[in-house]
Chains A and B, each alone.
Chain A
Amino acid sequence: MQARQAVLEALSAVFPEHAGSFGDETMAEDVSGWDSFSHVQLMFEIETRLGRKIEIRKTYDLDNVGALIRLLEAEA
């Protein structure tokens, strides 16, 4: 699965109340419940879809969803 699809699917799975509203500019603070707890779940969901481990330390300080997708594409 491509990084973009994996991230968007995972976001919808973890934050179903925001499903369909995620874009590259979406930031964690725009999403109620996206904190250090749910971030771990989100990374699990993405890892499951991509079938590989993510360097999670690199994901904590990203600016937005687009930056996360670019990071994962670069890691692939």
Chain B
Amino acid sequence: MAAKPLLVFDGNCQAQHLAAMIESTGVAETAYVGPDWGFLPAYQGRICRVLRREEEPEVFAAAKAAGRRLIQVSQLSPFSKQARAQKPIESADKRVLFPELRLWAISPKRFAESFKSGFDVKRIYEIDLQAMRHAQEKTLFPVDLPAFVEREMPNRPLFHTVNHPVGAVFSRLLEGLAVLLAHEIDGNCILAVAADVEDREGLNFETDHPVSRELREELGFNWPAAYAVYERMLLAAQDKHWDELERGRGEFESLFSEDTQFWRCCALLGMARNDSAVAEPAFERLLELCPGVRAPWLLYAQFLRADRRDSDAAALLERAERFFDDCGIWHGIAARIHLMFGARRDAEEHARKHWAASSDNISSAFPLIEVLLQQQKGEEARVLVASLAGRHPIEVNNLRRFLERKKNATGLASALDSQAVSS
């Protein structure tokens, strides 16, 4: 029997999610190489393996030495001719490509936050489809994803955020990969996962929903009646209308019991009411659905802290450590939880490890900046902030918003400005 191939994925969180899903089939081992996006999507409670840059050559060489095929599975953005594209792996036996999918049109607010100009949402949607079409053509992907999005989007939401699709989109991606990998692994195993995720939520730990009625009408989207209930649930949580959330909980559960956002609403309701019977099952479900995301861990810890259950919080921290297995994200979670409990020295140690492991993601610096400020190490914080001024404008804006939220960070945003001017 031939050794399992090693499939090395690159791209964004869509690639990470596909890696986790294909790993679950057992017909191939998967790994992810590339930037740290600050979270890891899970499938059936498991996240993909992330290779650190320094361990990549060793892992690839070991696979080859064991007689395994090394397949690079690369996500191409429409812009991937440019520098940000992942380089080919020299020792790979084969490289297959799949397109990156983005849909700015469902979140004009986010678009406006990122970009300054005025815009026409219909034009954004046209551009979204053009960009998808271009990536599709460059990859020669066997399933026509832009056609699927264009056909289905008027009937049902296919994206939770700009680049977080629902399960049906991942199902199409898996069908295409099954074709591309047909000579490498048993495609039926991939198709079984494709069938499983068809009606699942995909990447849903963040959401840009609800999409307003006006926007849906403008774009010609006529989504199912349940969307009005979903909208009501999300708005009740967003506006902290806990009575309304409580009253509707049975109806919401009957429709959205497999939906991360439903459990997030329950967790928030339980926190607001300090009700363990509501909060804890919700946290546990969130940790099944999206364990690679820091928010459920942090909210759970926050709830336990408010309930003065320090030993339970410590157990939660240990559980996170076991789950993440020294992944950079773990250090970020540990830093934040230690900060929450006032353990500044432990927080600093983890924050430094987090930043060292994940410095390609600017938000990984946030716990370190915070702990430095709390430890009266303002000059080091200022130097760190100034060193980040040349990053991508979207990242710098995130940093600026973070600093503006911190009362003790007065002056640090100006360090960012003065550095930007001098550079």
Please give the distance in Å from A13's CB to the nearest CB on chain B.
8
User: Distance (Å) between the CB of A24 and the closest chain B CB?
Assistant: 17
5 A-B contacts, Cβ less than 8 Å apart?
A: A17-B420, A28-B83, A32-B390, A37-B394, A41-B117
When A36-B77, A57-B133 are in contact, do A29 and B83 touch as well, CB less than 8 Å? yes
Contact B127 A43 (CB under 8 A): yes
- Residues in B with CB closer than 8 Å to A45 are 117
The residue from B79, B127, B130 contacting A35, defined by CB atoms under 8 A apart: B79
Query: CB-nearest residue of chain B relative to A45?
Result: B117
A56 touching B131, Cβ below 8 Å: yes
Give the total number of A-B pairs whose CB atoms are below 8 A apart. 71
How many residues on chain A are close to B (CB under 8 Å)?
A: 28
CB within 8 Å of A: which B381-423 residues: 390-394, 420, 423
- Interface flag for B116 (CB, 8 Å): yes
Asked whether B78 is an interface residue with its Cβ less than 8 Å from the other chain, the reply is yes
Residues in A lying within 8 Å of B, measured CB to CB = 13-15, 17, 27-29, 32-41, 43-45, 47-48, 53, 55-57, 60-61
Q: Which of B83-120 contact A (CB under 8 A)?
A: 83-84, 100, 102, 104, 114-119
Residue pair B130, A56 in contact (C-beta under 8 Å): yes
Our pick among B104, B390, B393 for the contact of A38 (Cβ within 8 Å) is: B393
Q: Report yes or no: A28 in contact with B134, Cβ–Cβ below 8 A.
A: no
- C-alpha spacing A14/B133, complex, angstroms: 25
Asked if B82 lies at the interface with its beta carbon under 8 angstroms from chain A, I say yes
Additional A-B contact list (20), CB under 8 Å, known A38-B115, A43-B127 = A13-B117, A32-B392, A34-B82, A35-B79, A35-B84, A35-B392, A36-B77, A36-B102, A37-B394, A40-B124, A40-B127, A41-B117, A44-B115, A44-B119, A44-B123, A48-B117, A57-B130, A57-B134, A60-B78, A61-B81
- Contact with B115, one of A32, A40, A47, A61 (Cβ below 8 angstroms): A40
| Residue in chain A with minimal CB distance to B132 | A57
Chain B, interface size category, equals: 20 to 34
User: Top 5 A-B pairs ranked by shortest CB distance?
Assistant: A36-B79, A41-B115, A29-B83, A57-B134, A33-B393
B392 to chain A, nearest CB (A): 5
Across the interface, which residues of A come within 8 angstroms of B117, CB to CB?
13, 41, 44-45, 48
Q: Which residues of A contact B104 (CB under 8 A)?
A: 40
Q: Whole-angstrom distance between the alpha carbons of A61 and B130 in the complex? A: 13
With A40-B131, A53-B123 known as contacts, the answer to whether A60 contacts B79 (CB < 8 A) is: yes
| Min C-beta distance of B174 to chain A, whole Å | 23
Cβ 8 A contact of A28, one of B82, B115, B116: B82
Chain A residue contacts of B84, Cβ below 8 A = 35
Q: Bound complex: CA of A60 vs CA of B130, how far in Å?
A: 11
Q: Is the CB of B131 within 8 A of A36?
A: yes
Residues of B within 8 A of A40 (CB): 104, 115, 124, 127, 131
Q: Which residues of A contact B123 (CB under 8 A)?
A: 44, 47, 53
B-side contacts of A35, CB under 8 Å: 77, 79, 82, 84, 392
List the A side residues contacting B78 at CB < 8 Å: 36, 57, 60
Q: Looking across the interface, which residue of chain B has its beta carbon closest to that of A61?
A: B81
User: Which of chain B's residues has its CB closest to A17's CB?
Assistant: B420
Tell me how far the C-beta of B130 lies from the nearest C-beta in chain A, rounded to whole angstroms.
5
Select from chain A the residue with minimum beta-carbon distance to B128: A40
Docked Cα-Cα span, A16 to B6, in Å, equals: 44
Interface string of B53-87 (1 = CB under 8 A from A): 00000000000000000000000011101111000
Docked Cα-Cα span, A15 to B390, in Å, equals 12
Closest to A28 in B: B82
